[in-house]
Amino acid sequence: MRLCPGGPVVRCVRVCCGRGRWRVCIPKCVRSTWAYTHLLARSLCYNTLTNWDTVNDTLFEPVFWTADRLTRLFGQVFVCLVVVLTSSIVLIAYMVLLPLVLHTYAPWWIVWHLCYGHWNLVMIAFHYYKATRTPPGHPPTTKSEVPFVSFCKKCVTPKPARTHHCGICNTCILKMDHHCLWLNNCVCVRQVYFSLTVCVCVAWLNNCVGHFNHRYFFSFCVFLTLGCVYCSISGRNLFIDAYSAIERFKALEAEPAGVPVKGVGLLIGIVPPEAVNGQSSFQTPPPTFTLKDKLLNKSIIYMWVLTSTVAVALGGLTLWHAMLISRGETSIERHLNKKERTRLAKRNRVYKNPFHYGCFNNWKLFLGVEKRSHWITRVLLPSGHAPYGDGLTWDFYPHRKEPLPV
The alpha carbon of 261 is separated from its chain's Cα centroid by a whole number of angstroms, namely 64
Annotated active-site residue 180? The verdict is yes
Phi and psi at residue 378, in whole multiples of 5°? -110, -15
368 SS3 class:
coil
Please, are residues 211 and 189 in contact by the beta-carbon 8 Å criterion? yes
Nearest alpha carbon to residue 126 among 198, 68, 51, 57:
198
Q: From the candidates 169, 172, 180, 188, which is the catalytic residue?
A: 180
Give the distance between the most distant pair of CA atoms in the chain.
Answer: 126
Amino acid letter at 395? D
Tell me the β-bridge partners of 210: 187
| Rounded-to-integer distance, Cα 167 and Cα 208, Å | 10
Interacting residues of 198 by C-beta distance below 8 A, sequence separation 6+: 123, 124, 127, 128, 219, 220, 221, 222, 223, 224, 225, 227
Cβ neighbours around 314 below 10 Å, total: 24
Please, are residues 166 and 172 in contact by the beta-carbon 8 Å criterion? yes
How many CA atoms, within 13 angstroms, populate the side-chain half-sphere of residue 36?
Answer: 7
Q: Among all residues, which ones are annotated catalytic?
A: 180
